Amino acid sequence: MTSIEEDTYKALEEAFDKDLEDTEKRLGNGKGKATKKDQNQKYDYMTFKYSSRFRGTLHEAILLNGAPVFIKYQDGQIQAVPNIEEQDRILRPPSIEEYPYEPIEFSTYEELKKFQQIVLEGVNKEILFQKIFETVSLYIDQDEEIRILISADIFWTYFQDLFPTTHYYDISGTGNGIGKSTIGHVFEGIAYRAVRMTDPSAPSLYRILGKIEPGQCIIIADEADRIHTDKDMMSILKEGYTILGKVSKINKNTEKQEFFFSYCFKMRIAEDPMRPSFAKGVIDRSFMIRAIKGCPRYDIKEVLHPASRRNGKLEKLHESLRNLRKLLLIFRLVHFDDPIFDLDVGLNGRDKELCKPLLQFFHDTRSYNRIDKAIKSFLAKKNIRRNNTSIEPVLYDIIKNMIITHGTTISVADIWEEIMKNVVGLYNPDKPNEFQSHDYDTIYRSTITKILEGLGAERKHKKSGNVLIFDKEKLDKIGMMYEDVLNYDKEKVKGEGSESSESISYNSQNNDIKSIVKYDRQSQIMPSPLSPLHPSHVEYPPKCYYCIIGGFSDKDHYEEHVVRCHKGLTGYPGPTDLEKHNLEPQGMYWENPRNAGINFEQEGS
């Protein structure tokens, strides 16, 4: 390489390095790679809000006359600062291009002071809630309890980072124009830093939620039908309902582990509700809203459209939304350090986590009873839905009844058999450790054991197989949750003459499942053959002829299994039956050719 070429190459390299440095500085926002020009310069991070992990003064990012600044409430005044400088870093507000939502913008400092004066001169939670409810009702035509919950949650999002947990929304509805996305747009127009994204990915949420402080914004995941297929997204949703939630990722550039906050209010909008087989944990954290077609007074999408400025009426509505957001933000700044009343809401566990924060926030308002009624209505529906899609209440009831007859030590095989008796579904003998239930998706034998251990059972291995030893006191305590709160619907357990109860009939002739037959609990127990040559200890075979189920406790147990799982087939096959169905003999006397003079009653019906 000549000296001229070396100079040219060096110049290009320097230009590239400078461009890369500028780019990194522009993107270095605390959610990506920070920049450092030299050893003396501090790292530079972008953040939407900061309170020194709730130990310092709250700073909120806004645009003031087009310039990015932080505002804070200190010494009784709203103040603006360009950035926050700490010992090892500088926190800066985002520029307009970096906002993933419409920024909150004040035209002048005098406008800031005007909103501060409004807040200080008598605006309280009740007034703001009523204003939000009135605004929500202009754009959402759903049941009143839905509008009440939405209005309360919109207000609450401005204080979400002061509470340990949050609930989610799972909004669904088939077809276009029914209003499910409208709810997301209303949150986008009023709620705290609402980021609406279509089918979002986990990396995009990492960058938005960041590593600076939890509760940077709220997430609206629209058209999120396949969100359950993204393992990282599911981790964010499962961890992100608690303010302590973090998700770890390995930075591929530095090969270092990084931790991202995941906490904030979130909603999923899709055609269908989430399926428990994929998102059981997320469902348990969500209130489901089934949108129905309505006729709202105004179209929120038209109001939020930038071109609404060309229509005087739409611009007036849009300006009203912007002013409401400004008022709510200033109210947050002024009241951020207010004490939080510890309220007994009469709930426990997950139910308490989902409801208490909202009820705490509104405990001193006249609308508290309306909000309490609305959220507990959603809670009841959530628990009914969980009951209809969760196997735990059914298992509890099965074990409770088995303890009466078996005692507290029960064979896992007996429990598995009892599940197949009491749960509607399909059994495939080729997969003996699986049961395709209608209401709970695929049930696995190993999973059932783990669930029962969660009910306080202790597993013990014996020569005859695994058994579970139950602590009746623990079981009764856990059962209070299912009986008093869930009050689960027994119609989901097989009942008398259930039309939908089905199980698989097995045809061994070609070693394949041939047909699905209905199980009618009114069916007569299959009569056994009567014979003086039939000793009592061989009244039934050691295992079923048509599947691998065995270990029957008595003859009635065996015959009930045959009637239930193999209707129309005999439980005592003779030579002709063995040949016809290609069954394996088990050395039972009825398998032998019958001698003349011995009269057997009709086998099977």
Is residue 558 over pLDDT 70? Answer: yes
- Give the 3-state DSSP-derived string for 367-426, with helices as H, strands as E and coil as C: CHHHHHHHHHHHHHHHHHHHHHHCCHHHHHHHHHHHHHHHCCEEEHHHHHHHHHHHECEE
DSSP 165: B
- Percentage of residues in the chain having pLDDT higher than 70: 79
SS3 466: strand
To which residue do tokens 């600076």 refer? Answer: 212
371-410 per-position pLDDT tens digit: 999 999 999 988 877 766 677 878 888 888 898 888 889 9
- Residue 481: pLDDT band by 50, 70, 90 thresholds? low
Residue 530 sits at the vertex; the CA angle it makes with 526 and 532, to the nearest 5 degrees, is 155
User: Between 472-480 and 392-406, two packed helices, what is the crossing angle to 10 degrees?
Assistant: 150
Is residue 505 over pLDDT 70? Answer: no
Task: State in Å, rounded, how far the first CA of the chain is from the last one.
Answer: 97
Please, which residues bridge with residue 259 across strands?
248
CB 414 within 8 A of CB 402: yes
pLDDT of residue 537: 43
pLDDT of residue 137: 95
- Residue 448: pLDDT band by 50, 70, 90 thresholds? confident
Nearest to 183 by CA among 157, 150, 219: 150
Q: Of 110-119, 409-418, 479-488, which range is least confident?
A: 479-488
557 vs 577, higher pLDDT: 577
Q: Rounded to the nearest 5°, which phi and psi values hold at 538?
A: -125, 40
Is residue 162 over pLDDT 60? Answer: yes
Is residue 488 over pLDDT 60? Answer: no
182-238 per-position pLDDT tens digit: 999 999 999 999 999 998 889 899 999 999 999 999 999 999 888 888 888 999 999
Structural domains for the chain = 3-117 (no CATH), 124-291+348-388 (3.40.50.300), 390-492 (1.10.10), 502-591 (no CATH)
Describe the chain by its helix, strand, coil percentages, rounded to 5: 45, 20, 40
Residue 300's contacts (CB-CB under 8 Å, 6 or more residues apart) are 139, 182, 185, 186, 189
pLDDT of residue 40: 65
CA 160 to CA 265: how far, in whole Å?
A: 7
22-67 per-position pLDDT tens digit: 544 444 444 444 444 455 678 899 999 999 988 899 999 999 999 9
- Percentage of residues in the chain having pLDDT higher than 90: 43
pLDDT of residue 553: 65
SS3 69: strand
pLDDT of residue 123: 92
Is residue 369 over pLDDT 90? Answer: yes
272 vs 552, higher pLDDT: 272
171 vs 29, higher pLDDT: 171
pLDDT of residue 519: 32
52-111 per-position pLDDT tens digit: 988 899 999 999 999 999 999 999 999 999 999 998 899 999 999 999 999 999 999 999
CA 540 to CA 109: how far, in whole Å?
A: 90
pLDDT of residue 141: 92
Sign of dihedral through CA atoms 482, 486, 487, 491?
A: negative
pLDDT of residue 222: 93
pLDDT (mean) for 161-173: 95
pLDDT of residue 551: 64
pLDDT of residue 249: 85
The helix (run of H) or strand (run of E) holding residue 457 is none
Its pTM stands at 0.67
Please, which residues bridge with residue 505 across strands?
515
